[in-house]
Chains A and B, each alone.
Chain A
Amino acid sequence: MVSSRLTPFLFLAPALIGLAVFRLAPIVIAVAGSMTGASLMGDLSFVGLENFQYLLTDPEFWSSLHVTLIFNLIINPLQLAVAFALALLVFQPGRAIWLYRTLLVLPMAVSTGLSAVLFGLFLDGNLGPFNGFLEWIGIGAQPFHRGQEQALGTLIGIATWKGAGYWMLFLLAGLYSIPSTVHEAAMIDGATAWQRFRLVTLPLMRKPMAFVLVADTAINFLFFAPVYILTSGGPSGATSVLMYQAYLSAFTFSDLGRSQAISTILLLIILMIVALELRLLRSPEDRA
């Protein structure tokens, strides 16, 4: 049985080589690339931490970091809150609830890029109905993604439209895993609906909520398509998130070193988030 010791590795080889080359090796490339001065032409030279030192003195980087952090500080709690509200609304059985559930998760079948295009048209003053509606009810037309003040908020809105139903599913699964006996016991003890929510549901939902928050954050730190499609980072840098800066550095300014330095910073953030996620999934609490 010489072959049998090799068999598992033969089965694993194609997938694991794929993951190693296309998921893990790029991490090494980002770190190595961030320490080289490389142009798209391919001339390489080792520059140590120069790219990072340069980043730290670059106001555009700081402004982009600021935008990215604001974006994440708003969108992640917001999506969690909306998703949780949706989950509570569709949790209990009722007439036509399945229909609402299907409608609410529909946007997860629409890609982020197409969501951006859809809202680019929907919110456009000449092509879409929304500004006409705002005029009609007396609020007046808004610039949305074209306005300095509103651009980031508009992108947050679009991403939430797309993402809330998706995250709802995980919270819904969490709600189902709460044994109904727990609620019954609380009711017998005379707890009101609000008390039961605050003292029973909320504590038992800690883990699924933490999972959603962490996984959502990982995705939103890498937010790109709507920025590229709708705002090109503007107006005047208002939506220029780090991922877009990494893209611009490489393809507009041909500064691959800067691009890789930003990628390395983002990867570091993401790997920290993944580590957090792993700890969360491993923690032995509530395996019931």
Chain B
Amino acid sequence: MTETIARNPLSVALRYGALSVLAFAVVCPLAWLALASLRPQAEIFQPVSEFGWRTFVPSALTLDNYRALLNGDFPLALRNSSIVALTTVVFGLVVNALAGFAFAAFEFRGKNFLFLLVIVSFMMPFEAVVMPLYVMINSFGWTNSYKALIVPEVANGMIIFLFRQFFASIPKDFYEAARVDGASWLYIWAFIAMPLSWPTIATSSLMLFLSQWDSFFWPVVAASDPNYAVVQVAIARNINFEENNWGGLFASTNLAIIIGMIPFLLMQRFYVRSLISGGIK
């Protein structure tokens, strides 16, 4: 077996050495930010000449930077992002699961063509249509509203695809049996198919949540008004305007990263599996 390579002590050492260096390169900036966000204001600036372990480890840990966030624009940004992301999750699950069910359970004209459109829609990155989409949303009079941030993101080809894959794996007899008992298709979808699909619901929720929590380009274009600034936009603004509240920027950036990371870590397994099935299948 291939194990013989792994057992050679030198190659084991090389492998773990390389992995450790790479893992350090990945984690170091994140760990530095997390620690820096807990620094007292007075210690934020780090003269280039004074590199040492103090560069990473604060002399005292304080939540002052986080407390200071409460008075700035960050709570509003958190609220905006939460409203946008959670609404998208709820509507996105229903709308895309319905479509996925239709592709899996029904035979109808144009099915293959429509499914191809779904696939093309998720292979084409959203950023490609941001500028023309802005022209459209602007003509609807939607700019600077939650509508502009939510509605275009509800229908999602990737999520339709994932639900189709799941629903197609349930034997059709299952649905037919319920049909014979007189259940409507909507009833079958809501009370038979959906409850079975909880792993897909979980990953889809995460994907929809992250797609909104992480989005930057579209919010910058469509909702530039400070009242509708989402977390990413609010943070990006604070790094450019020469603000004095660097501690606040550290804290808000760290918080935004952690909020995105926790659900990812909890559901990593499901998430990765779905992602790959969408790419390779």
Contact = CB atoms under 8 A, between A and B. Distances in A.
A19 B253 contact: no
Interface stretch (B24-32, B63-71, B72-80, B194-202): B24-32
A165 B36 CA distance: 25
Interface string A212-231: 00010011001011001100
Nearest to A22: B152
Interface stretch (A54-62, A70-78, A148-156, A264-272): A264-272
Interface in A138-170: 141, 161, 165, 169-170
A168 to B, nearest CB: 10
Interface in A7-42: 7-9, 11-12, 14-19, 21-27, 29-30, 33
B6 A103 contact: no
Nearest to B14: A89
A26 B214 CA distance: 22
B216 A222 contact: no
Interface string B108-150: 1001001001111101111111011111100000000000000
Contacts of B23: 100, 103-104
A228 B220 contact: yes
A19 B117 contact: yes
B123 A277 contact: yes
Contacts of B117: 16, 19, 24
Nearest to A97: B19
B132 A27 contact: yes
Nearest to A224: B217
B51 interface: yes
B253 A11 contact: no
A135 B48 contact: yes
B134 A113 contact: no
Contacts of B18: 89
Interface in B234-267: 235-236, 239-240, 246, 249-250, 253, 256-257, 260-261, 264-265
A234 to B, nearest CB: 13
B228 interface: no
A102 interface: yes
A221 B7 CA distance: 43
B131 A118 contact: no
A173 B276 contact: yes
Interface in A240-278: 243, 246-247, 250-251, 256, 259-260, 262-263, 266-267, 270-271, 274, 277-278
A183 interface: yes
B98 A14 contact: yes
B121 A23 contact: yes
Contact of A11 (B151, B189, B215, B249): B189
B129 A215 contact: no
Contact of A14 (B95, B153, B257): B95
B106 A11 contact: yes
A7 B105 CA distance: 11
A161 B29 CA distance: 10
A215 B106 CA distance: 31
B19 A169 contact: no
B5 A114 contact: no
A225 B217 CA distance: 6
A228 B218 CA distance: 13
A7 B106 contact: yes
Nearest to A126: B45
Contacts of B215: 111
B154 to A, nearest CB: 6
A132 B129 contact: no
Contact of A219 (B27, B125, B134, B157): B125
Interface in A159-210: 161, 165, 169-170, 173-174, 180, 183-184, 187, 193, 208
Interface in B12-48: 12, 15-16, 18-19, 22-23, 25-27, 29-30, 32-33, 36, 44-48
B49 interface: yes
A7 B183 CA distance: 14
A147 to B, nearest CB: 15
A247 B131 contact: yes
B86 interface: no
A118 B51 contact: no
Given A118-B257, A173-B276, A211-B280, A15 B210 contact: no
A9 B125 CA distance: 26
Contacts of B268: 102, 105
B60 interface: no
Given A16-B114, A23-B124, A129-B51, A104 B250 contact: no
Q: What 3 pairs between A and B have smallest CB-CB spacing?
A: A18-B155, A111-B214, A132-B51
14 contacts: A14-B95, A23-B124, A23-B155, A25-B136, A27-B129, A89-B18, A90-B19, A106-B27, A111-B215, A113-B235, A121-B239, A132-B47, A136-B51, A222-B125
Given A8-B106, A11-B106, A14-B98, 15 more contacts: A7-B185, A16-B99, A16-B114, A16-B118, A23-B155, A100-B23, A111-B216, A122-B29, A127-B46, A129-B55, A215-B279, A218-B124, A218-B125, A225-B217, A277-B123
